[in-house]
């Protein structure tokens, strides 16, 4: 696919801003939403990333390796499993590519989501098997690389098991030894720091600011000139 023309990008942004959640056409200051001009900037960036993909298939979208590169180098995510889970959260149709619509919808939550949207996003990331619960086994799997292990430890997994039990005690309100969405939502609303309890899957404010300054540079220059 050749590079998108300016007119095509404008038309695509106009269409998506009408049909994709989290968008606002009228105002730059729309809280959690992108306006049409910002959408155009993100589509141009998407098109640039497509062009950088080696041996890509026509019309498929961003592949896993390109997206992981962005997560690592732009947003500072380092855990392989978390990056894979974020990719899956963006890839709503599970075709192993991120379409331009999935790119814009995903970034809307990733960069400017409400607390409610981020709770849903993080829960989906942590629900590894997609059964609607975060089990003990899933918690253990996600947390096992988070502790610094000492060579002298006889059973380094014991510390991870302790963390899992602490998380359950704190967050498992119905005491069924797993976290439902209701459990997770209540825990995070009571204590926001629990949003990323099982691994970093959202960018920090500094990374968001840097990304938006780069992606929306033309928008900002136009706004203040």
- Whether 201 and 82 have beta carbons less than 8 Å apart is answered as yes
The pLDDT of residue 91 is 96
Q: How far apart are CA 145 and CA 201, in angstroms?
A: 15
225 residues of the chain, pLDDT tens digit each: 345 666 666 666 666 655 555 544 443 333 337 888 898 899 999 988 987 665 555 557 999 999 999 999 999 999 999 999 999 999 999 999 999 999 999 999 999 999 999 999 999 999 999 999 999 999 999 998 766 555 555 677 888 999 999 999 999 999 999 999 999 999 999 999 999 999 999 999 999 999 999 998 855 444 433
Domains of the chain: 117-196 (1.10.238.10)
Which is nearest to 112 in space by CA: 216, 224, 220? 216
Tally of CA atoms within 13 A in the half-sphere of 60 that contains its CB:
14
CA distances from 96 to 56, 60, 67 (A): 12, 9, 11
Q: Check residue 5 and report its DSSP letter.
A: P
The pLDDT of residue 8 is 67
The pLDDT of residue 45 is 92
């Amino acid at each position: 696919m050749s590079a998108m023309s300016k007119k095509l990008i404008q038309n695509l942004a106009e269409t998506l801003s009408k049909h994709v959640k989290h968008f606002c056409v009228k105002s730059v200051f729309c809280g959690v939403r992108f306006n049409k001009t910002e959408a155009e900037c993100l589509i141009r960036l998407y098109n640039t990333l497509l062009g950088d993909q080696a041996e890509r298939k026509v019309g498929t979208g961003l592949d896993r390796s390109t997206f992981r590169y962005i997560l690592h180098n732009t947003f500072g995510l380092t855990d392989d499993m978390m990056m894979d889970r974020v990719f899956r959260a963006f890839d709503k149709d599970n075709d192993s590519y991120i379409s331009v619509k999935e790119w814009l919808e995903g970034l809307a939550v990733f960069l400017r989501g409400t607390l409610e949207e981020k709770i849903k996003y993080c829960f989906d990331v942590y629900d590894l098997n997609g059964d609607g619960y975060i089990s003990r086994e899933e918690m253990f799997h996600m947390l096992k690389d988070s502790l610094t292990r000492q060579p002298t430890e006889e059973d380094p997994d014991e510390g991870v098991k302790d963390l899992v039990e602490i998380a359950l005690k704190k967050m498992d309100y119905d005491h069924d030894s797993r976290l439902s969405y209701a459990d997770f939502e209540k825990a995070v609303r009571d204590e926001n720091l629990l949003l990323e309890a099982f691994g970093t899957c959202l960018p920090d404010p500094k990374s968001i600011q840097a990304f938006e300054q780069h992606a929306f540079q033309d928008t900002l220059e136009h706004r203040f000139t």
